[in-house]
Structure 1
């Protein structure tokens, strides 16, 4: 039995979050999607697993303190080794167990921006928080810039980068034979998304990431979101419509000269979706309105400067 090493404290970004279960005992819930693919839910980002004769391909690993429970849940399914761990982005609720999984023998893979951000302290301007750099053992050892393919457990596993969506290092994972897509935090099923502007995220990139996913999948595809419940193409399509609707309304307000304070207080922009319970968690309606406003104005300014 390998020793589980306590990992750096990377809960800063999500210590405020609505998924935290601080007063509850965390239970790892296992959902089998087909013969080889599983989804694990606990505290933090949803974990994806491909388990077969070649070993285990793992997507994200939640927090370090949950590693023993996560490993127990995995061992209840299979005693195969964890060959690869793919990080969908750098946030601690998806990478917190990296060092522990590395000690279990997993090869950590991520977009190059994930390694860059994990290698140095990260300051989140929106929340006035600093996340300390990760130890070397927690860093991805294989990085990619656009796409990477794994051939494992009888299927091709497509991993592809989506630009400036939730962060600047997001990756989606598509199990081609199983027809399962893990979207990481480019999709918060049923709730307003958290777009990390300080880490290169943007509303336009977020919407484009969804459109890329919609081009790839079909009506039978099972979608593992970064948080919350298993989803499908129909739900994702409606989610994109929601984001496009809110974004268009805010673009109009910006064109009319409205300030961020005015837009963030304008409940009419998001009322339809508040009624559908999209706002009843840590990203409330006011937060999503101000985030989209900042994203649209900041990225417009950046583009203008880059065009000079």
Structure 2
């Protein structure tokens, strides 16, 4: 039933716009379907969530649960988190952080606007955390938007990012220079990857799913070219020792990211070639 609805929706979208527009849509949509169905399954789960921690460098941790992987920097200056999963998980997240540091969360950076990354904003905002994000994240959260077939209501004021930026952000805490780098039109239009220079760690946000196909949110301004660009930027920053935190999946290496990059580039080229040769949506959808 769901697959039938997806096919109908894709057909309606693809009958609009130029051939170039159709090509771009197909490339993104083909990559999105597998990840989207997987995400729907995860969100439907209601079992108790445990927050697992993995230290990836001195003072830097990857915390997993339900939703996006949380990055954590804990030190003498501040407790800094990257993304905050869903609102009902805040107490569990706080408890897990307390096992590492006595400091409350001082700063929270959202890698994009989706609810499994910003759902805890309201709770952490009420606890005094300074919330930061790309300007597009605040705009979407302020105005409300559409996610698939769901309408997302505007977020309360306390949940909104207080500090916003367009291209880059630098944070100097815990003996680290932490850089937030905006990637234009990747998973969404407000994606940020986060680079811990001294720690040699990169948090990719939803621009990289480790061991999974990417999900490109077209309704939120996502585009396959941006997903490729995000990988290019991270591959340039990293070396063979770099630890890469994906938003979903296990801790990765530069080699893992390179394989992801090669796959997405190959898929884009293959689908574009099929469309350029005049194939319709059905042969393209089921080509192996």
Q: Which range, TM-score by smaller chain? A: 0.7 to 0.9
Are 1:223 and 2:223 matched, yes or no?
no
If the length of structure 1 is used for normalisation, what is the TM-score?
0.79
Per-residue CA shift, 1:97-148, capped at 9, x if unaligned? 0000011111000000000011112123xx3221111111100010000001
Aligned residues: 253
The structural deviation recorded for 1:83 is 1.4
If the length of structure 2 is used for normalisation, what is the TM-score?
0.85
Quick check: 2:57–2:201 contact (8 Å CA) kept in 1? no
Unaligned runs of 5+ in 2: 1-35
From the two aligned structures, give the one with the greater helix fraction. 2
Q: Does 1 or 2 have the higher relative contact order (CA < 8 Å, sep 6+)? A: 2
Whole-Å Cα distance in 2 between the matches of residues 117 and 50 of structure 1?
27
Per-residue CA shift, 1:80-103, capped at 9, x if unaligned? 131110000000000000000011
CA RMSD across the alignment: 1.5
Which residue number in structure 2 is paired with residue 304 of structure 1? none
Which residue number in structure 1 is paired with residue 129 of structure 2? 106
The structural deviation recorded for 1:200 is 0.5
Which residue number in structure 2 is paired with residue 283 of structure 1? none
Are 1:34 and 2:57 matched, yes or no?
yes
Quick check: 1:21–1:43 contact (8 Å CA) kept in 2? no
Quick check: 1:118–1:139 contact (8 Å CA) kept in 2? yes
Q: What are the equivalent positions in structure 2 for 1:83-102 lying under 5 Å apart?
A: 83-102=106-125
Quick check: 2:90–2:123 contact (8 Å CA) kept in 1? yes
Out of 264, 274, 281, the residue aligned to residue 243 of structure 1 is: 264
Whole-Å Cα distance in 2 between the matches of residues 99 and 23 of structure 1?
21
Quick check: 1:165–1:206 contact (8 Å CA) kept in 2? yes
Structure 1 residue runs of 4 or more that deviate by more than 6 Å after TM superposition: none
The structural deviation recorded for 1:261 is 2.8
Q: What are the equivalent positions in structure 2 for 1:1-308 lying under 5 Å apart?
A: 17-20=40-43, 22-124=45-147, 127-266=148-287, 268=288
The structural deviation recorded for 1:17 is 2.5
Unaligned runs of 5+ in 1: 1-12, 269-308
Quick check: 1:14–1:93 contact (8 Å CA) kept in 2? no
